[in-house]
Amino acid sequence: MQFTYFFFDLRIPNCYIYKIAKFVKTKPMRKTGSIILLIILFTLAGFLYYRYYFVFGEGVKSGQLNYLVKKGYIFKTYEGKLIQQGFRSEALGSVQSYTFEFSVVDPNVAQKLMENSGKEFDLHYKEYVGTLPWRGVTPFIVDSIVSMKEVKE
């Protein structure tokens, strides 16, 4: 049997090819392949868990609820913005307020927020490393309302 590899001709007798093919089909190779496949699957599962389900941080943000809307093409998710007290300036001479953009998964929490838009809220959130389309477009997921107050004028 003859194999061409780039510019070289390798002349390998048929008996060696059959021995190599027979060795690959043996149990030790199948066992090694299974172990490598399991390692790859566990590594992939660990990466996916870390990226999409591991809670990177959690806390409470306080501010006035600007809006909460339900939007999306395929997955309808609740997206909102909270305006926090204080100002920041990225460029000289400009003033911006601190904003916190978030997603809400629980429809009961979203309904309560929509009914009380414009009020002062303390929202408990979880921060994930990555986003999933059915969970929202931001890595910050509000899961509960800690407190709600009327805005002081």
Q: In which domain, by residue range, is 66 found? A: 55-149
Q: Cα-Cα-Cα-Cα dihedral of 113, 118, 121, 126, to 10°? A: 50
Look at residue 133 in the predicted model and tell me its pLDDT: 92
Clarify whether residues 59 and 128 are in a common domain. Answer: yes
Look at residue 141 in the predicted model and tell me its pLDDT: 96
Look at residue 34 in the predicted model and tell me its pLDDT: 82
Look at residue 95 in the predicted model and tell me its pLDDT: 65
Clarify whether residues 137 and 70 are in a common domain. Answer: yes
Clarify whether residues 62 and 41 are in a common domain. Answer: no
Clarify whether residues 75 and 136 are in a common domain. Answer: yes
Clarify whether residues 47 and 72 are in a common domain. Answer: no
* Low-confidence spans in the chain with pLDDT less than 70: 1-29, 87-96, 153
Clarify whether residues 105 and 68 are in a common domain. Answer: yes
Number of domains making up the chain: 2
At 86-120, the pLDDT tens digits run: 766 666 666 667 899 999 999 999 999 999 988 99
Clarify whether residues 125 and 59 are in a common domain. Answer: yes
pTM of the model: 0.71
Exposed / middle / buried, residue 11 (Cβ in 10 Å: 0-12, 13-18, 19+):
exposed
Look at residue 71 in the predicted model and tell me its pLDDT: 92
Clarify whether residues 28 and 101 are in a common domain. Answer: no
